[in-house]
Amino acid sequence: MISKKSAALGAVALILVTAFLTAFLTVQVGTYIDIKSGDRIIISKQDYQLLNNFYRKLDNVRRDIEKNYIEEIDREKLFEGALKGMVSSLEDPYSYYLTEEELEDFNVATSGTYQGIGVSIEKSEDNQIMIFQVFKNSPAMEAGLLTGDKIIKVDGQDVDWSVYEQAVAMMKSGEPGSTVKLTIIRDGETKEVEVRRDIVEIPDMEYEMLDNDIGYIWLYSFDGPAAKNFKNAIEELQDQGMKGLILDLRGNGGGLLEVCREIADVLLPEGLVVYSESRSGQRTEYKSDADALGIPLVILVNEYSASASEVLTGAIQDYGMGTVIGTTTFGKGVVQTMKPYEDGGALKLTTYKYFTPKGRDINKKGIEPDIKVEMTEEAIEFLKENPRESLPKELDAPLLKGIEVIKKELEETP
């Protein structure tokens, strides 16, 4: 007679093999499946052995964990862990599996508003959780967190990139107004910072007219309504008599490629903005139309300008439509595709590498500026001592150089 426990384990095994069989057949359909007979699908012996070996290894581990692990097992988390582990084996910081809850958080965060502390994070070279961007007027900015800080503890618990999902959840969970204690490393020194949780409005840009009719737009990201807001900003600055433009992409970690294309369309003449290629050589092109801004243009970048920022910078540089000033960019020249699943989860997977119009591959290399200008020691010290304040323009060496370049171009224009 079969015990209830054996029956339950058998049911779990059946669910697992059915799930993996379904996934396997979905991927292989049209290539390896040859015969359909009633409710049976017949596949080649080689593919069956591959599937069987894969499932057997997985199920052996599952059985041993459920039988021998010292604490109670959450089977759903066990299954999610197997999926996450499969993707993490790629050792690609941009590819990962998201649960239904994580996907909801991702969609909210890219829409422009979410609950948290007001930072975006990336994987550092030493596998730590690194703050890539601190949003303006956010709790993180109020607490003095800076781009480049590495988070090593959340409320006393050690964290690194291998548990970034849990770390993010810990930073976000709690009512608005509650606090979380972060332990960070900055310039080799360890610090503890208490940060308030709140509803965070993610700004996509700010803009103003500088002296000499030079427009200035600081673009924070390429998410949400950034393209529409960028076009509105350009129109307002033009109404004020803009003769030159400085586009600040420092600290901009990227966003949506289509948003980037729309912004590039405002600045570039008709032609190729960027193209991507898959592993199989499939090529996708993104183009701009004939209308271009047609005024002196400067792009400000730094080591935290990544992805879509580099797409736009590379295109402007290739067309000779502007001067790039600052330091070498981050070097993220790959594109991810989001694949949702019926269970509510999703796979974010690196599927394409992108190239500038002239065919430059900037992945892990970055884009070299036309004019290299670093932040001065005085500016760096000011930001450390006044993390809640913006850098005064008179201390911003790259911005001052940008103004100088545009003024010279305007003087030379007949």
Contact 94, 334 (CB under 8 A): yes
Per the annotation, the verdict on 332 as an active-site residue is: yes
Helix, coil or strand: residue 329: coil
Strand partners of residue 34: none
User: For residue 118, with 0-12 CB atoms within 10 Å meaning exposed, 13-18 middle and 19 or more buried, which class applies?
Assistant: buried
Catalytic member of 124, 198, 309, 332: 332
- Centre a 10 Å sphere on the Cβ of residue 247 and count the other Cβ atoms it contains: 26
Query: Is 307 an active-site residue?
Result: yes
Cα 314 to chain centroid, rounded: 18
For residue 333, CA distances in Å to 64, 309, 360, 361 come to 41, 10, 10, 7
At 322, list the tokens. 């502007």
What's phi and psi for 354, nearest 5 deg?
-110, 160
Q: Measured between alpha carbons, how far is 154 from 168 in angstroms, rounded to an integer?
A: 9
How far is 271 from 14, CA to CA, in rounded Å?
54
| Alpha-carbon distance values, 171 to 6, 149, 157, 159, 166 (Å) | 40, 15, 12, 12, 9
- Is residue 367 within 8 A of residue 310, CB to CB? The reply is yes
Q: Looking at residue 291, what DSSP letter applies?
A: -
Q: How many CA atoms lie within 13 A of 346 on its CB side?
A: 15
Catalytic residue among 138, 318, 396, 401: 318
- The reply to whether 287 belongs to the active site is no
Closest CA to 405 of 205, 210, 206, 204: 210
The residues annotated with a catalytic role in the active site are 307, 318, 332
